[in-house]
Amino acid sequence: MLAILVTVALAWWFGGGSYWPRMQATNALAMHDADTAEWFVRMAIRIGPQNSQNQLLLARVQREQGDIAGFEQTLESAQELGVAARLIEIERLLAQAQSGRLEGIQGRLDRLFVTGEADGRVVLDAYVNGCLAAARLPQAEALITGWLSAFPDDVQPLYFKGRLLMFYNRNVDAAVVFQSALQKQPQHYPAAYLLGQILMQENRPEEAIVQFERASHMTFNAAPRIAQARALRSISKIDEARAILTSLMALSAEDTTKSFQRVGDRHEGLPTQLELGNLELAAGNSHEALQWLDPAVEANPGDLSARHARGIALRGAGRGEEATLELQAVKDARLALREVDELGDLVNKNPSLIQERVRIGELYLLHESKLTGEYWLKSALARDPHQKRAHQLLAELYDSYAARDSRYTQLANRHREQSIALEATD
């Protein structure tokens, strides 16, 4: 009995008790399920002594989740526990790449493939994410092609290929790729979610609901459940859709944001309230619709579809003068955005055009979507990093975000400094 107790004590002291949950976390991370990986690695930390391996793994999980503040704090703990300085350096390099700040580090990323210091798939995941974040689509395409060739059994490059095809508006091809990814890994929730979105665009809501239900098994599932409610509304299952959305109102804004991040989608404003407003409007309940559309429009006044729905609801509620003003504002904004269509045609014919990309970005910032405007400005800088106007607009955009999220302050300052430097050279 004494020998057994000593053996158990030694196993715990050297981290044996945390081995199984750490392996489960590693496997979940390999399957790109960072939330499950976090649950297991935190279990490993709870049941074992302070362990550098567990802390480093948790930092990797937080990096994949986009939790940069948590990532830095955990990485410091790992360093204090004796993790090699080079491993810390690699993790910070991957975090920078993943965020889209690729200037000056591409050579260092390429060397990681040559030296084998990091798993090539992990490097590619961060690299491709960064290229998509920075609107470097040709570079992302080249990396994805190489990834598919080097790791043919990995499902993640198929997912990224599908996302890239959606960027190029090739949704039919993207759907085929997502279906292939799901055949390999049925629990790849982001692929299921995006396939559902394509099926909705093809007016196939019953099939889309199947994919959204599949994606709803993820830990943070607001995005697929909102999409499921929208699909149910489209086939007149109003009560089912309302029940889903009402339950989602209990979620925090942070949890909703995490959900959209996990499935590779974007959102602005209050998506649950907006869908509730659209649902009540479809049901003919104008007063109830306004209870949800008012805060949704206030949170994101650039959403022209939301403002149009609000205008219709105002008219239905007998507030004709307000309805006229709202609908006229939407009409004026859409007229201003006609220039986007003209410029977009030029860019489609000649992707090397830069000034046109900057102008498209500026128009979207002024009249509709800040996220879409940001994308176009980034696409201009990906082709020419010396576009002063793009840097100015991004600095202003990130300044507006920094008021509620201090993490944007650094981005705003970086673009402002680049704009000032370019001004000095003019």
Query: Is 295 part of a structural domain of the chain?
Result: no
Domain boundary, last residue among 99, 129, 158: 99
CA separation for the pair 424, 426 (Å, rounded):
6
Q: At what angle do helices 320-336 and 338-349 cross, to 10 degrees?
A: 30
Instruction: Decide if 286 is inside a domain.
Output: no
Q: Is residue 279 part of a domain?
A: no
- This prediction's pTM: 0.87
Tens-digit pLDDT string for the chain (426 aa): 665 554 444 444 445 567 889 999 999 988 888 999 999 999 999 987 788 999 999 999 999 988 888 999 999 999 999 999 999 999 999 999 998 888 889 999 999 988 888 999 999 999 999 999 888 999 999 999 999 999 999 999 999 999 999 988 899 999 999 999 999 999 999 999 999 999 999 999 999 999 999 999 999 999 999 999 999 999 999 999 999 999 999 999 999 999 998 998 888 899 999 999 999 999 999 999 999 999 999 999 999 999 999 999 999 999 999 999 999 999 999 999 999 999 999 998 998 899 999 999 999 999 988 989 998 999 999 889 899 999 999 999 999 888 777 778 888 898 999 899 888 886
Cα 224 to Cα 7, 84, 274: the distances in Å are 48, 40, 15
Main-chain phi, psi angles of 99, to 5 degrees: -75, -10
- Domain of 373, in residue numbers: 339-425
* 171: in domain: no
3-class secondary structure per residue, 272-331: HHHHHHHHHHHCCCHHHHHHHHHHHHHHCCCCHHHHHHHHHHHHHCCCHHHHHHHHHHHH
CATH number at residue 370: 1.25.40.10
> How far is Cα 181 from Cα 171, in angstroms, rounded to an integer?
15
Q: Is residue 410 part of a domain?
A: yes
* Residue 344 in domain: yes
Q: Which of 48, 82, 99 is the last residue of a domain?
A: 99
Nearest to 353 by CA among 366, 343, 362, 367: 343
**Final residue belonging to a domain, choices 66, 99, 132:** 99
For residue 19, tell me if it sits in a domain: yes
Residue 172 resides in a domain: no
CATH number at residue 17: 1.25.40
**Domain count within the chain:** 2
